[in-house]
């Protein structure tokens, strides 16, 4: 029988990107918060790792995300300031695609609608500015100069350390097994103890399905291969000389890459992966590492568009995408609950929202509502679709 520990204001299940940001925001507000992470903080088994993640505000996925992204800039700056660490690089992001590319057109529209600085180029103009790229003559490109990439493991560790310094209690390697709402709050039982709080936030990534079965959304974890490539021209492939990039390949999955930088930890090289490819997996089962065929396929794709970055494969790993049916996030109150909230289904494009999701989830946990524009992320959209 697990013992019942003292009561908290909020319990957060999952201390990855969204969970650590929530713990930090709650601690900043003077709340007594408990974060529970089933693995070590900053682990590489979920979706909050990989050495670098693209951050951008021209958002082809949906223009509704842009106000949330604009709120992230101050959030990243505050975490950097408070932690004394550089987490963000802003060499820009280059989007490129064919004449009918929705990635380019939607990125332009979403950015321009919200005043995000960006420049629309022809393929030849893009290659004059960045000769590292080889683009077909008929293609177009969009450059977002204020975008770039963030160091995910460092960001999670920094936010968690800041939360702890402000009084948050964060437990590593402790797995939540069951939770329930009580007449006066919530109760969470783990493999170590039982805890009580006024409210609960579930931000467990690929492990959400086992903790939030009643959310009413089918979530599918996907195993996605990532490669680090040795540049043929190292200087040309380093930030800020090379931007991060997204290639919208007609009829194929998108290809993205992140340049090298002086502060890069191992693995070294240009990070490259495809967006949207993946194989279903169980996050609790041993993860198959990327095959040599998967890594070579990524290298060949990069060699077509960024040949100076694709000399050979240096290393590879896998990441988890937890996909919602429409590839958009789910941020909502748990159905039938008064004090429990869930954030899930980030579908491979969620990490950049880490600071603002901390604010959103802290608002929900404390007040049951937020002024930030998250209505389009409500779970009820799937009930309407059915």
Question: Kind of pairing, strands 3-13 and 33-36?
Answer: parallel
- CATH superfamily placement of domain 3-48+153-217+326-385: FAD/NAD(P)-binding domain (3.50.50.60)
CATH hierarchy code of domain 90-148+220-322: 3.30.9.10
Residue with tokens 């003077």: 30
Count of C-beta atoms within a 10 Å radius of residue 124: 12
Residue 380: its H or E element = helix 380-385
Q: Quick check: 164 and 176 in contact, CB under 8 A?
A: no
pLDDT along the chain (386 residues), means of 10: 74 98 98 98 95 98 97 98 98 97 98 96 98 98 98 98 98 97 96 97 96 92 97 98 98 97 96 92 93 98 98 96 96 96 97 98 98 97 71
Structure tokens at 192: 């170590």
- Residue 383: phi and psi, rounded to 5, are -65, -40
Nearest to 219 by CA among 204, 236, 241, 229: 204
Q: What is the DSSP letter of 116?
A: -
Cα 76 from Cα 356, distance rounded (Å): 9
Quote the pLDDT of residue 276.
76
Q: Please give the structure tokens belonging to residue 371.
A: 């002024």
**What pLDDT is stored for residue 386 in this prediction?**
46
> In 3D, which of 318, 363, 380 has the Cα closest to residue 71?
363
Q: CATH topology of 3-48+153-217+326-385 equal to that of 90-148+220-322?
A: no
pLDDT at 6: 77
CB-CB neighbours of 184 under 10 Å: 10
- For the chain, the domains span 3-48+153-217+326-385, 90-148+220-322
Q: Which helix (H) or strand (E) holds 256?
A: strand 254-258
């Amino acid at each position: 029988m697990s013992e019942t520990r003292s009561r908290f204001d909020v319990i957060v299940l999952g201390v990855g990107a969204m969970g650590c940001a929530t713990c930090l925001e709650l601690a900043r507000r003077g709340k007594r918060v408990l974060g529970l992470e089933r693995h070590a903080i900053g682990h590489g088994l979920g979706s909050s790792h990989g050495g670098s993640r693209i951050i951008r505000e021209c958002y082809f996925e949906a223009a509704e995300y842009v106000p949330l992204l604009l709120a992230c800039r101050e959030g990243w700056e505050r975490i950097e300031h408070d932690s004394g660490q550089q987490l963000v690089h802003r060499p820009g992001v280059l989007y490129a695609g064919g004449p009918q590319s929705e990635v380019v057109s939607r990125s332009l529209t979403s950015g321009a609608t919200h005043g995000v600085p960006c420049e629309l180029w022809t393929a030849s103009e893009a290659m004059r500015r960045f000769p590292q790229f080889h683009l077909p003559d008929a293609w177009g490109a969009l450059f977002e100069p204020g975008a770039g990439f963030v160091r995910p493991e460092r960001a999670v560790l920094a936010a968690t350390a800041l939360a702890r310094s402000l009084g948050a209690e964060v437990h590593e390697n402790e797995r939540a097994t069951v939770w329930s709402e009580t007449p006066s709050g919530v109760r969470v039982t783990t493999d170590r103890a039982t805890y009580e709080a006024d409210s609960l936030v579930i931000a467990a990534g690929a492990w959400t399905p086992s903790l939030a079965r009643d959310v009413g959304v089918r979530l599918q974890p996907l195993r996605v291969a990532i490669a680090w490539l040795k540049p043929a021209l190292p200087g040309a492939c380093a930030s800020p000389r090379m931007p991060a990039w997204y290639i919208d390949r007609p009829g194929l999955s998108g290809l993205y890459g992140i340049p090298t930088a002086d502060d890069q930890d191992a693995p070294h090289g240009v990070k490259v992966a495809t967006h949207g490819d993946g194989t279903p997996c169980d996050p609790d089962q041993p993860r198959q590492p990327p095959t040599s065929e998967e890594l070579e396929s990524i290298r060949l794709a990069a060699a077509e568009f960024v040949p100076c970055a694709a000399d050979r494969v240096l290393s590879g790993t896998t990441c988890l995408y937890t996909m919602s049916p429409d590839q958009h996030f789910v941020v909502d109150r748990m159905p039938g609950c008064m004090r429990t909230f869930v954030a899930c289904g980030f579908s491979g494009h969620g990490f950049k929202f880490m600071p603002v999701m901390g604010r959103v989830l802290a608002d929900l946990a404390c007040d049951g509502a937020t002024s930030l524009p998250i209505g389009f992320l409500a779970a009820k959209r799937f009930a309407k679709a059915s």
